[in-house]
Chain A
Amino acid sequence: MELLRVENISKNYSGHQALNDVSLSIPKGSIFGLLGPNGAGKTTLIRIITKIIEQDSGKAFLNDSEITPELVRKIGYLPEERGLYKKMKVGEQLLYIARLKGLSRADAVSKIKEWLKRLELTPWHSKNIEDLSKGMAQKVQFIATVLHKPDLIILDEPFSGFDPVNANLIKDEILRLRDQGATVIFSTHRMESVEELCDHIALINKSEKILDGKKIDIKNEFKDSTFIITHEGSLPPSTDFEFISSSITETGLTESIVKDRTEGGPNNLVKSLIEKVEIHSFVEKIPSVNEIFIRQVQGETVVL
């Protein structure tokens, strides 16, 4: 079941191609990582989905119906550039934003109370935003994004400006919202959070989508039979593997990274290695999202 579908979207800013024929499908209940270097077109795509700007061609669907300004209310969007009315009180500000999103006054008030309590902001209810620390203002902004229980939550760099404690608090809230049925899109270049939270990813570079799918599938696809071996002594050169690097571990063993050159799978490599050194561990090296990201983005650069 997909919640959001984007079909062949293109957008041109007076001569500059911001998005070129991008299609995406985001499954319901997933945490979707939208990755890409700066200026790749992530924000443009999000702004098209949230109807802030209009695409030149292509369509975006939420729950199989084309997104209209009314449907945008089912989306909660946390922009990368955070902003709140500095001179407004926390409670009033949240009430205003919630009302703009169509919540009734009573409903909004009770939800605000609940959320402020959850994020430990209750004592700040009647303080002006300008009196809050940056981290607290960010939390208020997060509440503003999710207050109206949107089906789709779009978070642009959600952890920037948070200390580790608060970042974890927000992370838990994101997972909780997902468990309650929301779908989350992450737009980020902080790969560790993607590694930890996302189950689907898409990579956008130079206004084109170059990769998307389940995180596990993509990782498998990018495996290149590289193995990490912990062993005693040093590894003599051999035609069975290509030596990449090695280092000494805390326990005095050597950790070597090698690429399998044998035919027929890891067992053959192990056989060859057993004859040469004493093996303590043998693990396949799964590429991190970060590595995939850099390889893809730089590969593109080299081609050009």
Chain B
Amino acid sequence: MNNIGLIIAREYLTRVKKRSFIIMTLLTPLLIGAMFFFIGWSATREADTQTILVIDESEFFVDVFESDNEAIFIFADTNLDDAKTNVQNGDFDGLLYIPSLDINTPEGVTYYAPNNPSISMVRKLAKKIEREIENIKLTKSGIEKEVLDNLKADVSIATINLTEGGGEKETNSFGATGIGWASGFIIYMFIFVYGAMCMRGVVEEKTSRIIEVIIASVKPFQLMLGKVLGIASVGLTQFVLWIILGIGISTAVGTFMGGDAKSMAEVQQQQMEQMDIPVSEEEVAKQEAQNAVFSDITNALSSVNIPLVIVSFLFYFLAGYLLYGALFAAIGSAVDSDADAQQFMFPVTIPLILAMVSLNGVINDPNGSLAFWMSMIPFTSPVIMMMRVPFGVPIWELVLSMVLMIGGFVFTIWVASRIYRIGILMHGTKVNYKVLAKWFMQKN
């Protein structure tokens, strides 16, 4: 056992002391942050402002086309051909031509542009015209505009869990989905990155032939287990550092931004009071809406059993890695180079990829039979169970899944060690599945 300790220490220290480890540990949260920022930014980003020339011969829509960030509308009285030349000269990005139309059969509206306009732009224009025609029709049939405005309604549905004790608990599917998806994805990434690291480590030992020096004083099983566990602790260290970094950064940013925002608001209010300007209703409503969003997020988090999620995450994080890491180590022992490993890596990773692919199905029905079975099979349960835990899983299912998971990695470590002990000393053998099976059966 002492030897396993030494091996774990070596595997751990050589990796943690590497400059690349430190850099990646610091950089990854920044990269992920940047990625989310980019996604958010690109989703909400407005297209470049376009200048659109409008010829409205019907004269129904004079007030409809208000310029905004996306488009500036300019009404023109010129004839169509002149306007077309203007657009072709590049003076305008597009030309909307509305002929004098019959309200009941609105036809002949045309959009001219030097290149294909975006769908959203065309849809927006069509909607504006449609809505105005609707309004005109409704007004014609005697309904007042005020009545029209009052017709609109906004409904959101609150979801409540009926708990076993008879109590009610407000749930938030959005929060649960987010947490489940993120933790499932992180486990998936972790298994891939660290499993590959494990495999490369074994290949390195094999190709550099250090294995014969080491193996004379250590059992192959100890060496394999030491490597797998050593790398697991590297992963755990990295993860803990990320959590600390994350908490650190978010508190730092939170106090800075939060404090700032608060003082800003106070200052503003003070100024307004001093200047005796009443705060506009609109602004108050805006602030309230913002507050509502924040309370939604806090709600989302509070409806999920966070400690349970963290405990399960750490468990599946480790157990999933041990299960796959052992198999990756066995692959590494069987091949002579990283390149040869590809053909064996693919079948091993299929269950994992399958789990990622079926995540959508699981999100739609987190307690259905697909979700249940995939969270019991040890090869897929780390990802799938982590998706389910935030939604609330019966405790017996969680326990059963964990027990199966432990059984799963003990089994794969056993299988892997039988292949490893032979493979690590074999050089230049052409390895296929038959050979692997033979090694597995070989008695020593």
Minimum C-beta distance from A86 to chain B (A): 6
The residue in B6, B216, B438, B444 that gathers the most chain A C-beta atoms within 10 A of its C-beta is: B216
Q: Say yes or no: B209 contacts A69, CB within 8 Å.
A: no
Instruction: State the majority secondary structure of interface residues on B.
Output: helix
A101 to B217, CA, bound (A): 6
Of A47-55, A174-182, A195-203, the one touching chain B: A47-55
Q: Say yes or no: A141 contacts B217, CB within 8 Å.
A: no
A100 to B210, CA, bound (A): 13
Interface size class for chain B? 20 to 34
Q: Say yes or no: A79 contacts B444, CB within 8 Å.
A: no
Q: Which residues in B have their C-beta under 8 angstroms from that of A78?
A: 213
Q: Say yes or no: A83 contacts B438, CB within 8 Å.
A: no
Q: Say yes or no: A79 contacts B425, CB within 8 Å.
A: no
Minimal Cβ-Cβ distance residue in B for A55 = B444
Q: Which residues in B have their C-beta under 8 angstroms from that of A50?
A: 216
A145 to B3, CA, bound (A): 17
Q: Say yes or no: A100 contacts B438, CB within 8 Å.
A: no
A77 to B209, CA, bound (A): 13
Q: Which residues in B have their C-beta under 8 angstroms from that of A86?
A: 204, 208
- Taken residue by residue from 6 to 24, chain B's Cβ proximity to chain A (1 for < 8 Å, 0 otherwise) reads as 1100100010000000000
Q: Say yes or no: B6 contacts A79, CB within 8 Å.
A: no
Q: Say yes or no: A85 contacts B218, CB within 8 Å.
A: no
Q: Say yes or no: B212 contacts A81, CB within 8 Å.
A: yes
- Taken residue by residue from 42 to 62, chain A's Cβ proximity to chain B (1 for < 8 Å, 0 otherwise) reads as 000001001111100000000
Cβ of A84 within 8 Å of any chain B Cβ, yes or no, is yes
| A81-B209, A85-B208 known; A14 vs B438 contact (CB < 8 Å) | yes
Find residues 208-232 in chain B having any chain A CB closer than 8 Å to their own CB. 208-219
| A14-B438, A52-B425, A96-B6 known; A75 vs B216 contact (CB < 8 Å) | yes
Q: Which residues in A have their C-beta under 8 angstroms from that of B205?
A: 83, 85
A84 to B210, CA, bound (A): 5
Minimum C-beta distance from A292 to chain B (A): 30
| A53-B444, A79-B212, A100-B3 known; A73 vs B14 contact (CB < 8 Å) | no
A82 to B212, CA, bound (A): 8
A294 to B170, CA, bound (A): 89
Q: Which residues in A have their C-beta under 8 angstroms from that of B444?
A: 53-54
Q: Say yes or no: A100 contacts B211, CB within 8 Å.
A: no
Q: Which residues of B contact A (CB under 8 A)?
A: 3, 6-7, 10, 14, 204-205, 208-219, 425, 427, 438, 442-444
A-B contact pairs, 25 of them (CB 8 A): A14-B438, A52-B212, A52-B216, A52-B425, A53-B425, A54-B443, A54-B444, A72-B216, A77-B216, A79-B213, A81-B209, A81-B212, A82-B209, A85-B14, A85-B205, A88-B14, A97-B214, A99-B6, A100-B3, A100-B7, A100-B214, A100-B218, A141-B213, A144-B213, A145-B213
Q: Which residues of A contact B (CB under 8 A)?
A: 14, 47, 50-54, 69, 72-73, 75, 77-79, 81-88, 96-97, 99-102, 141, 144-145
